[in-house]
Chain A
Amino acid sequence: MSGKWEWSKVAATAVFGLISVCFLIPLLWMVSAASKIESEVWTFPIRWIPKTWNFMNNFQEVWLGKVPFTIFYANSIKIAVMTTAATILFSSMAGYAFAKIRFAGRHAVFGLLLSLMMIPEQATLVPRYILIRWLGLYDTHEALVLLMMFSIYFTFLFRQFIAGIHNDYLEAAQIDGAGYFRTYWQIVVPLSKPIFATVAIIKFIWTWNDYQTPLIFLVSRQLFPIPLGIQYFKEEFATSIAVMMMASLSAIVPLLALFLVLQRHVIRGISLGGVKG
């Protein structure tokens, strides 16, 4: 860092450093409790480093126990990957059309879609539940993917980004005889990689953490994604907080690792949503 350290900034950084640590205490407590034997979880003052390490036993209970976490994991990965893939495909296609194809009715349709963003998904849960039952998709992963894969918000983000691609690229492709699909696939997609990465990671996180949709549309335990798995653990291990904390830790860590690696994309994507005004 060039220049002198400013005293006021150093002091403010120290204060905020302390605040941020306090802010994260619940997560630190979770990690600590997940490494303890049950009787040590509640000792006060809080013993952050366990006297008796029980990390491996708790880990085995969660991952290799009666209903192993591996099933919930596999389900979550399957649902999140399928949903994310469908979302980036359909949202980017629509975003491209709204940004670059001058078809009749595009302004009206786009305005209508934006106004649909006001409909809270909770307000349409009942009819969607009936619809899914009619379609014979109740208690399937397909139902979750279908319900979660369309997103006006991400269509909007794609449209904003693709609108910034210079028309020269698209026209050059069309002079070379490329149709709309080849233009989309060979020009638009490669030039929009950053927004693809951003949307993919955010959608993946949101799907991974979604609790409400699987709660209403799934009943079979072997189909549960992680959030329902945690609920199941809560019912089974009500008295074993150490095991519960290990389950929570197991739900959070992989996503947290993914976030830390890709945090630039996540934070940029979140910021994009807020400063569109």
Chain B
Amino acid sequence: MKKTFWNRKRRENAAGWLFIGPEVFGMLLLSVFPLGFSLALSFADWNLVGGVSSIRFVGWDNFIGLWEDDRFLKALRNNVLFTAATVPGVIVIALAMAAVIHARLYFQSYFKIAFFVPYICSTVAIAAVWSALFHPSKGPVNQILIQLGVTDPPKWLVDTSYALVAVMIIYVWQLIGYKIIIFIAGLSNIPNELYEAASIDGAGTMGQFWHVTLPLLGPTTFFLTITSIISSFKVFDIIKFLTNGGPNDASTVIVYQIYEEGFQRFNMGYASAMSWVLFLMIVLVTSVTWIVQNRKVHD
């Protein structure tokens, strides 16, 4: 064959880059460029309404401002509370339920579907239903609480002490099925022989769970922990739809603050600084979880 410019190697390279081209272009345009752009903006004061000419560089002012912004600090605190309340406990419950569904029940596919249904539903539609259930005077939740003898039940979404709790309940209810499905998938990957070997060694149900199931579910638990922490940092839909961060900022979170600063007040620089705090928190959490996990594996 005649040697041409388009030899086999060159053709292979060209084809590879053509095939990944759109995806790579999309990521550069919508992920890499915006991340750099928002870093630059976070050192600037810019109200979008004023046009490009009104960009003014202000050094660290935005970040210093965040540190002194009570609403942002409240949002930060709420995010931490939200993660602490919705991640560890829910993972334990989801694991327990997955273990029971996987090993001890008939009609397993029914249970998988039943607990997964809320995950399929539109968050906004679900939030609308829960806001009726949580109605302070007429809602079924409080009617039941009164029936049970609670004289002064919380006002939930309009209660400064309970708004965030109400959001957490809706959030956990919608997402627990996802965790159950992932755990069941992890459980089905554990070979049966291991359980047989353990039971020959005299391990009971609990012993098998502690010595076979839990260690082998390590990677699954790790994956779920990281993704759950990250998604709890990003909670927004329920809050925007039901409380707008209120009452009195009781349920505000970082993403809600970004939304308000960026898209209602058009303070692009300040909103970008918040975005970078969020991004760095996620990088930090991911790295820490990663390091802890690797250490555990090596022990």
Interface window among B58-66, B156-164, B277-285: B277-285
Asked whether A98 lies within 8 Å of B20 as measured between CB atoms, the reply is: yes
In the assembled complex, the Cα of A103 lies from the Cα of B279 at a distance in Å of: 32
Tell me which of A8, A44, A212, A274 has the highest count of chain B C-beta atoms within 10 A of its own C-beta: A274
Chain B 109-120 per-residue mask, 1 if CB under 8 angstroms from chain A, else 0: 111111111101
Number of interface residues of A (CB under 8 A): 94
Contacts of A20 in B (CB 8 A): 110-111, 114-115
Contact A274:B122 (CB < 8 A) given known A109-B24, A128-B30, A180-B15: no
In the assembled complex, the Cα of A227 lies from the Cα of B272 at a distance in Å of: 26
Contact A126:B38 (CB < 8 A) given known A12-B105, A44-B140, A259-B120: yes
In the assembled complex, the Cα of A128 lies from the Cα of B275 at a distance in Å of: 12
Tell me which of B35, B115, B120 has the highest count of chain A C-beta atoms within 10 A of its own C-beta: B120
Tell me which of A120, A126, A209 has the highest count of chain B C-beta atoms within 10 A of its own C-beta: A126
Asked whether A124 lies within 8 Å of B125 as measured between CB atoms, the reply is: no
The residue that B27 contacts in the complex, of A97, A116, A259, with Cβ under 8 A, is A116
B222 CB, min distance to chain A CBs, angstroms = 7
B132 CB, min distance to chain A CBs, angstroms = 5
Residue B41, interface by CB 8 Å: yes
Chain A 145-174 per-residue mask, 1 if CB under 8 angstroms from chain B, else 0: 011011010010000000000000000000
Residue B37, interface by CB 8 Å: yes
Contacts of B186 in A (CB 8 A): 274-275
Tell me which of B34, B110, B178, B286 has the highest count of chain A C-beta atoms within 10 A of its own C-beta: B34
Residue B173, interface by CB 8 Å: yes
> Can you list 12 A-B contacts with CB-CB less than 8 angstroms, sorted by A residue number?
A13-B107, A113-B24, A120-B282, A126-B38, A126-B41, A126-B271, A152-B23, A180-B19, A212-B240, A255-B122, A274-B220, A277-B222
Residue A215, interface by CB 8 Å: yes
Asked whether A119 lies within 8 Å of B106 as measured between CB atoms, the reply is: no
A209 CB, min distance to chain B CBs, angstroms = 4
Interface members, chain B 190-211 (any A CB < 8 Å): none
Asked whether B132 lies within 8 Å of A93 as measured between CB atoms, the reply is: no
Interface members, chain B 106-158 (any A CB < 8 Å): 106-107, 109-118, 120-126, 128-130, 132-133, 135, 138-140, 143
Asked whether A251 lies within 8 Å of B262 as measured between CB atoms, the reply is: no
Number of interface residues of B (CB under 8 A): 94
Asked whether A102 lies within 8 Å of B30 as measured between CB atoms, the reply is: no
Asked whether B122 lies within 8 Å of A123 as measured between CB atoms, the reply is: no
Interface members, chain A 249-277 (any B CB < 8 Å): 249, 251-252, 255-256, 259-260, 263, 266-267, 270-277
The residue that B275 contacts in the complex, of A46, A97, A123, with Cβ under 8 A, is A123
Tell me which of A122, A216, A271 has the highest count of chain B C-beta atoms within 10 A of its own C-beta: A122
Contacts of B32 in A (CB 8 A): 116
Asked whether B24 lies within 8 Å of A125 as measured between CB atoms, the reply is: no
